[in-house]
């Protein structure tokens, strides 16, 4: 059999001759890469084109949505809220600045001894929520003045009092005879008190609720937290 094959007139090629040249495989890889790129590039381009349309549409939708919500903002409502907020703020400022002069007189009453007499009293507002009271007093004796000073010093509300212009005029002196006065006490002095807001709280919080006034207002003011968010305030400012 081998002889027959070897005797064939057909030329035979050796097995070594069947091996491909090395360059053929590289060209095949290049073919794969080039085909892959050639297919992938348009596919990617198409995908990106579609995605770009999608993102553009999303963006346009967001623009439309923003326009819609901006148009839904009501300037008139905002002005109403700001007006109400301003009114409440000012009202609260006034309300919490109120002081009670009746309380002040009560404090003076309770701490003043019977041997000391008020000849005159002047009360004026010094600072926010504090009052300055200036009074001319007269007393029978220095003991009464000393006792009165102690009484004022023991009272926390009147601890700031100070006695000045202390004048002793004997009852039988000529000055006393010349001056027509109903006050027969020989010692006269001036005193000043400073009342802080805590000492002289307004009595309005105890107002009759049926009176439909301050107490209702305070409840409304305290329960209505009208501290505007910053974004609202800023938007109102910009608008």
Alpha carbons 218 and 204: distance in angstroms, whole number: 10
DSSP annotation string for 115-168? TEEEEEEEEEEEETTEEEEEEEEEES-HHHHHHHHHHHHHSGGGTT-EEEEEEE
Alpha carbons 150 and 193: distance in angstroms, whole number: 14
Residue whose CB is less far from another protein, 113 or 121: 121
Whether 137 and 166 have beta carbons less than 8 Å apart is answered as: no
Residue whose CB is less far from another protein, 103 or 169: 103
Nearest approach, Cβ of 4 to another protein (angstroms)? 38
152-96-202 Cα angle (round to 5): 45
Nearest approach, Cβ of 34 to another protein (angstroms)? 4
Residue whose CB is less far from another protein, 179 or 224: 224
Nearest approach, Cβ of 114 to another protein (angstroms)? 14
Beta bridge partner(s), residue 70: none
Nearest approach, Cβ of 92 to another protein (angstroms)? 10
Whether 194 and 126 have beta carbons less than 8 Å apart is answered as: yes
Residue whose CB is less far from another protein, 15 or 69: 69
């Amino acid at each position: 059999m081998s002889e027959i094959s070897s005797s064939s007139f057909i030329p035979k090629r050796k097995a070594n001759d069947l091996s491909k040249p090395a360059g053929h495989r590289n060209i095949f890889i290049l073919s794969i890469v080039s085909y892959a790129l050639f297919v992938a590039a348009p596919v990617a381009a198409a995908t990106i084109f579609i995605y770009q349309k999608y993102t553009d549409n999303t963006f346009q939708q967001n623009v439309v949505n923003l326009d819609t919500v901006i148009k839904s903002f009501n300037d008139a409502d905002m002005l109403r809220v700001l007006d109400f907020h301003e009114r409440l703020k000012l009202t609260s400022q006034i309300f919490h600045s109120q002081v009670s002069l009746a309380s002040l007189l009560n404090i003076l009453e309770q701490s003043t001894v019977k041997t000391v007499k008020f000849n005159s009293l002047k009360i004026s507002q010094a600072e926010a929520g504090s009052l300055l009271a200036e009074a001319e007093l007269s007393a029978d004796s220095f003991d009464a003045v000393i006792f009165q000073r102690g009484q004022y010093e023991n009272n926390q509300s009147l601890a700031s009092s100070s006695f000045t212009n202390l004048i002793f005029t004997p009852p039988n002196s000529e000055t006393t005879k010349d001056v027509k006065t109903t006050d027969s006490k020989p010692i006269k002095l001036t005193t000043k008190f400073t009342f802080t807001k805590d000492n002289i709280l307004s009595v309005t919080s105890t107002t009759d609720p049926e009176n439909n006034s301050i107490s209702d207002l305070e409840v409304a003011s305290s329960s209505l937290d009208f501290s505007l968010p910053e974004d609202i305030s800023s938007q109102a400012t910009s608008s």
